Amino acid sequence: MAELDTSGGGHKKGPGVKKGKKLSTRVDLTPMVDLGFLLITFFIFTTTMSQPTALKLFLPDDKITDEPNKAKESGVLTILMGADNHIYYYEGQLKPDGSNFLSASYNGENSIRDVILKKKADVRSRSRDTENPYKDFVVVIKPGAECNYKNLIDILDEMAINVVKKYALVDISDGESQLVKISDASSQTSASN
């Protein structure tokens, strides 16, 4: 099978009598099978690759105000997001002189993940509650007006990655937003120099 008959026309009948060559109808199908399976693999891969996932978020109800969530100062980490993927943080309360207002990055050196993990370990070492050592650990996320949606998702994702159980999305205050703006501007000028 699968080859062309090239054995010629057999014996000659005589001068002037032409006989059509008997060609086999069989063709080698191997390349066609190859192609078929190649396309199958392509379609299998393209069908399952792009399934979007969903990140869940639960909002607090603004109307329930009887019991505000009081967090211990020592266990609070506040993350602020500014323009151009800048990110800042401070632990506990922001000091009036802004000395504990520090800068971090989304990934790479001095990443926010390290900051979160450091704070988490810190809370754990100081906690006397053995059952739930992370009870006092709260991350407050304050996105500035200039940060984009990706930054927000990245931070919420960071909460999932580092298994932070308690976090809150809070509006940025005027003072903090000023501080973020100034820091954004200063890092911009230092980058352009």
Partner 1 sequence: MGRAKLPRKSTNIDMTAMCDVAFLLLSFFILTTKFKPAEAIAVETPSSVASKVAPNKDFVLVTIDKDGKVFLTMDDEQKKELVANTVNSERNLGINVAAFKKAGFIGAPLNGLNSFLSIPEENRKGDQLPGIPCKDSTNNELTYWMQVVKAAYAGEKMDLLLKGDNIAKYPAFKNVIAAFKKNELLKFQMVTNPENAPEGSELWKMSMQGIKQDN
Compare residues 103 and 177 and give the one whose CB is closer to partner 1.
Answer: 177
9, 12, 37, 100: residue in contact with partner 1 (rule CB under 8 A): 37
Q: How many CB atoms are closer than 10 A to CB 116?
A: 24
Compare residues 73 and 84 and give the one whose CB is closer to partner 1.
Answer: 84
- Restricted to residues 108-167, the positions that interact with partner 1 (CB under 8 A) are 113, 143-154, 156-157, 160-163
- Left (φ > 0), alpha (ψ -120 to 50) or beta: where does 8 sit? left
- CB of 45 closer than 8 Å to CB of 54: no
Q: How far apart are CA 156 and CA 150, in angstroms?
A: 10
Total residue count of the chain as it appears in this document: 193
List residues bridging with 42 in a β-sheet: none
Compare residues 9 and 60 and give the one whose CB is closer to partner 1.
Answer: 60
The one-character DSSP state at 136 is T
Specify the stretch interacting with partner 1 by CB under 8 A; choose among 46-54, 65-73, 122-130, 185-193. 46-54
Q: How far is the CB of 90 from partner 1 (least distance, A)?
A: 19
Q: How far is the CB of 163 from partner 1 (least distance, A)?
A: 5
β-strands 167-169, 102-104 pairing: unpaired
133's tokens = 């050592």
The residue ranges that bind partner 1 (CB under 8 A) are 1-3, 28-30, 32-33, 36-37, 39-40, 43-44, 46-47, 50-62, 81, 113, 143-154, 156-157, 160-163, 171
